[in-house]
Amino acid sequence: MWSRLSRRATCPTSGRSISTERRRPSVCGLRLASGPGTVHELVVGPEGADRLDVFVSDRLELSRTRVQKLVVAGLVTVDGRGAKKSEELAPGCAVRVQVPPAQSVEIAAEDLPLDIVFEDDHLLVVNKAAGMVVHPAPGHRSGTMVNALLWHVPNLSGVGGRARPGIVHRLDRDTSGLLVVAKTDAAHRRLADALRARRIKRLYQAACWGHVAEDALAIDAPIGRDPNDRKRMAVVEDGRPAHTRVKVRERWLRADLLDVALKTGRTHQIRVHLAHIGHPVVGDQTYGVGWERGLGGPTRRWVDELARRVRRQFLHASKLAFEHPESGDRMEFEASLPADLGGVAEWARQG
């Protein structure tokens, strides 16, 4: 059974009740200075790999662009020698990757609203509000979920990187819903391994324009940077593998409410895949603009009204399931649509 959201939750490892009220930490922030960098020693599995840059990108969760720069700089070797980004890797090859240190960054703890669904000594599950950026980045040094988490938990796991303490997976700024956050390095590594092995189940609710052809379908299409706009993602031939499963929950007048399951976790994956099949997410200002062109009459008026009511992309991380990194207990959580999207859905059902 999926666990409904509550302000208190039962810890499956001990059966005790955990208060999720925020507390003031003993420190005011986190300063993460530059270090000597990190060296990763990787071994290619028995299946080999078609490209060096893709292999390293997938294993270290670095962008292909960054990996290619490391290769050009001579910071990636294969069996002790220099290599090319497109090099094919044989089984058993030893790949050494030296990642230079990031610049020093200071992340301040901030007393921001944070909806904690569950908490124990190892992890938290958070129901992120729409409009909140997950971690600091250029242009968003404050007001992020990480800033709020550091107020609540001063010593988050550092495995996620200097600007992403505790972060196991992300949601777009305008996507609401469930995220798991690691408190300890051990929990972080186990959860990250589970994510890579696709043992963390993530289900979203999304509204898309138009009607998908089938009640259930699979979208398997590689995703990479849009060659015409580096700020966007797109389905591209040499992109990273991406797999999405879609099931129609409700059919409205000129839109569908979907359950969407991720098998992989590429940037903007649901939004890109739905746009790719001609049914972009309702309210998506990056991948869904202009879909309604050519419509007329009552249908166009309905579409215009739905678009007016949606103030952000209609995308919500509604279910999350994983094995507890310490006890192995099955953890399942569910978050219903927030008020803004729930109100839109209720209006659409009347249409």
List the catalytic residues: 172
- Asked if residue 49 lies in contact with residue 55, where contact means CB atoms within 8 angstroms, the answer is yes
- Asked if residue 118 lies in contact with residue 18, where contact means CB atoms within 8 angstroms, the answer is yes
Query: Which of 289, 296, 337 is CA-nearest to residue 317?
Result: 337
CB neighbours of residue 123 within 10 Å: 24
Q: Look up tokens 């090859």; give the residue.
A: 93
CB neighbours of residue 229 within 10 Å: 10
Rounded to whole angstroms, how far apart are CA atoms 276 and 266? Answer: 14
For 159-212, give the DSSP string.
TT-TT-TTBSS---TT-EEEEEEESSHHHHHHHHHHHHTT-SEEEEEEEEES--
